[in-house]
């Protein structure tokens, strides 16, 4: 089932200009939101929720990384409990399952009886199962976000959500604030995380394939920009290939989706493929390329830096 948010038809979330947010009275009542983890994605999500009229409090393990959000009227808490206390919706956007588990006890201890926890980090089905077991909570939704820095800043992510429908409905105002549309993957925790891995397998594979074609063109003495021009507008074109390919040609690896974050996801995808009896040959090859780029010192750069592996 697909639930469409306020922003209209499904066009590419990386390239569309940001529309003027609708006033909260046109959409939903104001909610109190806690955002735990203010990295590349989390900071943008906090700003998008605030811009939509919600009251946002952020927390980050390194407080200094959250403090710039105060300029946008976002509260910055000194502890997980202080951020979560009184929140209607809590979003965790931390690096991995272990990072989420590190805050789970404090989070659930401060979680109000009617609050909803959107677990939005990419942790895979096994990771969300571990988190759910540790939380022991009926207030948890599996809600990873599809998108990168710019869609997070623009409120154009695609939340992939699974769990009880009543919780999804309760959290919908916040999902609408951070996303262009919400994809409901099912009633069971883990379905959304499985879908996120399928999506990221595509994103990471197409990035590596784009790098290969750019490298082949360059290696054979052809302007690699001609490769992007050749596929542009055709059936084989991809906005992501154009975006990342252009960055590769320019050598601009400013992080939008960090390469080491991609490596973490590739590990989850590899494990999930094996668990689902899917041949992992392709994902292992892609993983080796990302490993090589990271070992060469590009772990903190954008995914586009996988180009250096060629």
The rounded mean pLDDT for the chain is 92
Q: Give the span between the Cα atoms of 289 and 129, in whole angstroms.
A: 29
Say yes or no: 30 and 148 in one domain: yes
Say yes or no: 222 and 147 in one domain: no
Please give the pLDDT value at position 16. 42
Q: Which of 187, 219, 250 is the last residue of a domain?
A: 187
Q: Which of 139, 159, 187 is the last residue of a domain?
A: 187
Say yes or no: 157 and 206 in one domain: no
Return the percentage of the chain with pLDDT > 70, whole number. 91
Please give the pLDDT value at position 29. 76
The better pLDDT of the pair 305, 9 is held by 305
Please give the pLDDT value at position 10. 44
Say yes or no: 292 and 171 in one domain: no
Tell whether the model's pLDDT for residue 18 goes beyond 60: no
Question: Average pLDDT in the 290-306 region?
Answer: 98
Q: What are 82-102's pLDDT values in tens digits?
A: 999 999 999 999 999 999 999
Say yes or no: 217 and 165 in one domain: no
Query: 27 pLDDT band (50/70/90 cuts)?
Result: very low
Say yes or no: 37 and 126 in one domain: yes
- Domains: count for the chain: 2
Q: Give the span between the Cα atoms of 54 and 89, in whole angstroms.
A: 10
Q: What is the DSSP string of 68-124?
A: GGGGGT-EE-SSHHHHHTT-SEEEE--SSHHHHHHHHHHHHHH--TT-EEEE-S--H
Q: Give the span between the Cα atoms of 26 and 18, in whole angstroms.
A: 18
Q: Which of 164, 187, 210 is the last residue of a domain?
A: 187
Q: What is the largest CA-CA distance in the chain?
A: 64
Please give the pLDDT value at position 184. 98
Say yes or no: 201 and 256 in one domain: yes
Q: Which domain holds residue 175?
A: 2-187
Tell whether the model's pLDDT for residue 8 goes beyond 50: no
Question: Domain containing 38 — which CATH number?
Answer: 3.40.50.720
Please give the pLDDT value at position 17. 45
Please give the pLDDT value at position 154. 97
Question: Average pLDDT in the 14-28 region?
Answer: 43
Question: Average pLDDT in the 235-258 region?
Answer: 96
Return the percentage of the chain with pLDDT > 90, whole number. 90
Q: What are 167-226's pLDDT values in tens digits?
A: 999 999 999 999 999 999 999 999 999 999 999 999 999 999 999 999 999 999 999 999
Q: What is the DSSP string of the chain?
A: -EEE-TT-S---TTTSPPPPPPPHHHH----EEEEE--SHHHHHHHHHHHHTT-EEEEE-SSHHHHGGGGGGT-EE-SSHHHHHTT-SEEEE--SSHHHHHHHHHHHHHH--TT-EEEE-S--HHHHHHHHHHHH--SSEEE--EE--HHHHHHT-BEEEEES-HHHHHHHHHHHHHHBSEEEEEESSTTHHHHHHHHHHHHHHHHHHHHHHHHHHHHHTT--THHHHHHHTTSTT--HHHHHHHHHHHHT----SSBHHHHHHHHHHHHHHHHHTT---HHHHHHHHHHHHHIIIIITTSBGGGGGGG-
Say yes or no: 181 and 69 in one domain: yes
Say yes or no: 150 and 9 in one domain: yes
Question: Domain containing 299 — which CATH number?
Answer: 1.10.1040.10
Please give the pLDDT value at position 64. 94
> Quick check: 288 and 262 in contact, CB under 8 A?
no
Say yes or no: 303 and 167 in one domain: no
Global model pTM greater than 0.85: yes
Query: 78 pLDDT band (50/70/90 cuts)?
Result: very high
Say yes or no: 152 and 277 in one domain: no
Q: What are 126-179's pLDDT values in tens digits?
A: 999 999 999 998 999 999 999 999 999 999 999 999 999 999 999 999 999 999
Which distant-in-sequence residues (6+ apart) come within 8 Å of 297 by Cβ? none
Q: What are 250-272's pLDDT values in tens digits?
A: 999 999 999 999 999 999 999 99
Please give the pLDDT value at position 6. 43
Please give the pLDDT value at position 20. 43
Please give the pLDDT value at position 28. 53
Say yes or no: 168 and 283 in one domain: no
> Quick check: 31 and 88 in contact, CB under 8 A?
yes
Query: 5 pLDDT band (50/70/90 cuts)?
Result: very low
């Amino acid at each position: 089932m697909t639930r469409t948010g306020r922003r209209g038809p499904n066009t590419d979330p990386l390239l569309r200009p940001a529309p003027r947010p609708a006033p909260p009275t046109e959409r939903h009542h104001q909610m109190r939101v806690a955002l735990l983890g203010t990295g590349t994605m989390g900071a943008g999500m906090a700003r998008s929720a605030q811009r939509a009229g919600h009251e946002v409090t952020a927390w980050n393990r390194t407080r200094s990384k959250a403090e710039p959000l105060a300029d946008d009227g976002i509260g910055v808490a000194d502890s997980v409990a202080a951020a979560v206390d009184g929140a209607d919706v809590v979003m965790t956007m931390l690096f991995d399952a272990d990072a989420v588990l590190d805050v789970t006890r404090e989070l659930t201890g401060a979680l109000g009886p009617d609050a909803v926890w959107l677990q939005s980090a990419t942790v895979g089905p096994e990771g969300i199962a571990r988190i759910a077991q540790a939380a022991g909570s009926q207030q948890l939704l599996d809600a990873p976000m599809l998108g990168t820095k710019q869609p997070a800043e623009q409120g154009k992510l695609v939340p992939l959500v699974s769990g009880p429908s009543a919780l999804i409905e309760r959290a919908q105002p916040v999902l609408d604030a951070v996303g262009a549309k919400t994809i409901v993957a099912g009633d069971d925790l883990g379905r959304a995380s499985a879908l996120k891995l399928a999506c990221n397998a595509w994103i990471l594979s197409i990035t590596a394939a784009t790098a290969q074609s750019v490298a082949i063109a360059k290696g054979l003495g052809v302007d690699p920009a001609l490769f992007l021009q050749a596929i542009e507008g055709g059936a084989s074109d991809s906005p992501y290939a154009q975006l990342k390919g252009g960055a590769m040609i320019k050598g601009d690896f400013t992080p939008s989706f960090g390469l080491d974050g991609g490596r973490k996801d590739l590990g989850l995808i590899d494990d999930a493929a094996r668990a689902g009896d899917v041949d992992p040959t392709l994902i292992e090859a892609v993983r080796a390329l990302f490993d090589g780029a990271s070992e060469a010192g590009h772990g903190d750069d954008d995914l586009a830096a996988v180009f250096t592996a060629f």
